Structure 1
């Protein structure tokens, strides 16, 4: 653990620890909720992305999930086997397909969303409304800031330069 001699580094370390704690809890909750509907967390995230976009290519889904195309394809195959998504011809290029949620996929997503929204509502009710709104905005800013630093184009990990790590 860094010493307090470097407050910025300590703050970054404390931030990292707190964020890690939050991510672990949320991922467990997501996994628990997804399992209730016979889906993996990755499949839930993929289904949500397809529904939000209306239609996506596998490449677009891979970029959205920060994974490579083959990983996205495996996730989609699982969703397709469960009747949650379908591959439809891309109107602009007959060689390509687009992903679209089925009625079953929309229904499962709706059930999961209702369950999670109820949990989040109960959580947010513990806070002053202005604090709850501020937390929501902070989470959006964090997600945006983190996504700007993610690059999956090389197909390999460790793409953050050492210069960025020291800053």
Structure 2
């Protein structure tokens, strides 16, 4: 016996409208931040991706390339190119892994840590100017909301809900663009 579709809850329409408004707001914010990050980070002679790699190594400590790849959500070959550039610039070094001498660990050099902190301080100053006119409770609530959204989005991404092939299929019947 076929089940009838569930009746929409009264708040489903409002939830959809709110989700659409959130999508628009986050898309605008992400676009602005991508340009801001590129413009402010690249003046330090590293790319945004290199800066993210440096951030992981400074904040989380030395680690193997596979762990860094997972943290950056990049494939191994792309991570290798990012790390190679940071090594050439003197911001990262490869050292024997403490647990397995056959393996290599990546770690930020003193110059890499200084660069990361200089970039981070610059970005934090920008954030400070952005939120300076908000009441303290609004700032804290906004920060908590963004953390919750990030955790929820990460959980969905890690669970494989980022893109189902049928969700990416164009309406014209051509094959899916993802996966």
Compute the TM-score of the two structures, normalised by the length of structure 1: 0.85
* Structure 1 residue aligned with 2:85: 78
1:26 and 2:33 matched:
yes
* Structure 2 residue aligned with 1:119: 126
**Across the two proteins, how many residue pairs are aligned to each other?**
157
What's the C-alpha RMSD, in Å, of the aligned pairs? 2.3
CA contact (8 A) 1:85 1:100 kept: yes
SS at match of 1:6: helix
Shift of 1:52: 0.5
SS at match of 1:98: strand
SS at match of 2:157: coil
> Looking at both structures, which has the greater relative contact order when contacts are Cα pairs under 8 Å and sequence separation is at least 6?
1
* Structure 1 residue aligned with 2:150: 143
Structure 1 gap ranges (5+) = none
Compute the TM-score of the two structures, normalised by the length of structure 2: 0.80
* Structure 2 residue aligned with 1:43: 50
1:105 and 2:112 matched:
yes
**CA–CA separation in structure 1 for the residues paired with 2:134 and 2:14:** 28
Structure 2 gap ranges (5+) = 1-11, 169-179
Larger radius of gyration: 2
